[in-house]
Structure 1
């Protein structure tokens, strides 16, 4: 798969295209904090044929540009993704979001419903129920710790992320890939910017409008997710009309990596809904 960089608002976003073009609408896959497009690498080959698949590194993650002073909240990410769709000539797509990528997908569905043909929320943030307690603690400590060596912050992040995996060997390998861009002083500054942008007020503001969503929606949650408690997914199912909920037993947070077949099956069923 060949990736490309696209200028969006003066910053380069990295994406790669996969799948096979056909009659089906495109799929856009959005990762969460603090991962990258690598999150979807096991899932992409399992997606049904006939769909163009666009896998994006959000600004400040993976191969995309450093954020600089650009905003990094879920609404700002959503605006950039809509602009990316414009550049790629995609009028509407099935948007699949994990973690804060799910928050980005919710913003897109609420603000630009004509651009979101279907919505899939995987271990998604929502309401005011995030970030996890440990991330809230480190955000509160940033005035004291933001100038410490990157190794201090990354050590905390590695430990926190690993609790989201059932397979610790897989988790350790992926985490090293995810934190690599944050291993320099410049990368530490980008990570601090991401942490400061984890604002639940943005998704809480969407709550009254979720009932107005009319596109087919599927929600996937891990039964033992330590970051996003299961009642959050259950509330999303209640609030979004006609939404389905699949709870994966013995699963935690990083479902696209650890349960790609199950997530692919949910997406395939979503694409088949009328």
Structure 2
């Protein structure tokens, strides 16, 4: 599926004055909301959406700064704000009861939502939680060199300007276990969405989420330790960034969880190994 095909499947919704791209498919009673990863978009789920939509009404939006959503240059791109946007979007869609799935960057948006949920600050019932390959325990994460450069206030802006498709392709392919699964056609479609709306001008701002993971560590890890929501930890074991040790540690901290490892798979399991990933998510 091309990026343009994906765009045609979705719709645009105004949230707090910015336009957010949203996929909304399936019409069953259960709703699944998905928070996608970095530096990609809701497109990560194009292979698994048909199967997910048989069980759920599936709602996936592009975070601000990502995919087809607005990418304002005068914006902080805090994970706190991304949580604000997600919650407001779901409210505008009339959601009151959901299963929440989060991957990578999305897991930190998720933990901010959990912190508020634990304190009864939001009017949303979260029945189940599914966490996939995210470096919530940032101290265990094996950050790529480009991530370190982009998150720096000194180098971020310049690295973003110099980033091109070749650099992007190499870095994304390197987080796959089976590199052949990161096809040229698919990588080009992902790159097109990154560039959409002058996306390269904000990618260094988006990268500050790594710093926030350190700053809000106690709030967000604390939220996971406190939550009573039944949680599935669906984790690709060969992720070179969000390493399996993070999943193992989370399994000792989250009160009501089940750890479901995925063999021979890297950082984007829903793209690299969609069928086995689906089996664990839908089990």
Common fold: TM-score over 0.5: yes
Q: Check the 8 A contact 1:36/1:62 in 2, yes or no.
A: yes
Query: Residue 202 of structure 2 is aligned with which of 190, 195, 213?
Result: 190
**Cα 1:202–1:67, aligned 2, differ >3 Å: closer, same or farther?**
farther
Query: Residue 14 of structure 1 is aligned with which of 5, 9, 21?
Result: 21
Distance in structure 1 (CA, Å) of the matches to 2:256 and 2:51: 25
Worse-matched range after superposition: 187-196 or 241-250: 187-196
SS of the residue 1:102 aligns to: helix
Match of residue 216 from structure 1: 230
Task: Output aligned runs, 1:202-213, within 5 Å.
Answer: 204-205=217-218, 206-213=220-227
- Structure 1 length normalisation: TM-score? 0.87
Deviation at 1:27, TM superposition (A): 0.2
Q: Check the 8 A contact 2:99/2:126 in 1, yes or no.
A: yes
Worse-matched range after superposition: 144-153 or 167-176: 144-153
**Cα 1:214–1:163, aligned 2, differ >3 Å: closer, same or farther?**
same
Distance in structure 2 (CA, Å) of the matches to 1:140 and 1:55: 26
SS of the residue 1:267 aligns to: helix
Q: Check the 8 A contact 1:75/1:202 in 2, yes or no.
A: no
Report Cα offsets for 1:172-218 as digits up to 9, x if no partner.
43332222244489332111211233322255131123221111110
SS of the residue 1:7 aligns to: strand
Query: How many pairs are equivalent?
Result: 267
Match of residue 267 from structure 1: 281
Match of residue 157 from structure 2: 146
Deviation at 1:62, TM superposition (A): 0.8
Match of residue 54 from structure 1: 59
Q: Check the 8 A contact 1:31/1:100 in 2, yes or no.
A: yes
Q: Structure 1: where are the runs of 5+ without partners?
A: 270-274
Q: Check the 8 A contact 1:150/1:182 in 2, yes or no.
A: no
State whether structure 2 residue 247 is matched by structure 1 residue 247: no
Q: Check the 8 A contact 2:160/2:204 in 1, yes or no.
A: no
SS of the residue 1:198 aligns to: helix
Q: Check the 8 A contact 2:67/2:194 in 1, yes or no.
A: no
Distance in structure 1 (CA, Å) of the matches to 2:125 and 2:164: 37
SS of the residue 1:47 aligns to: helix
Distance in structure 1 (CA, Å) of the matches to 2:196 and 2:28: 39
Query: Residue 34 of structure 1 is aligned with which of 20, 39, 52?
Result: 39
Match of residue 272 from structure 1: none
Distance in structure 2 (CA, Å) of the matches to 1:81 and 1:140: 23
Report Cα offsets for 1:67-111 as digits up to 9, x if no partner.
322232322211110000110000121111111112212221221
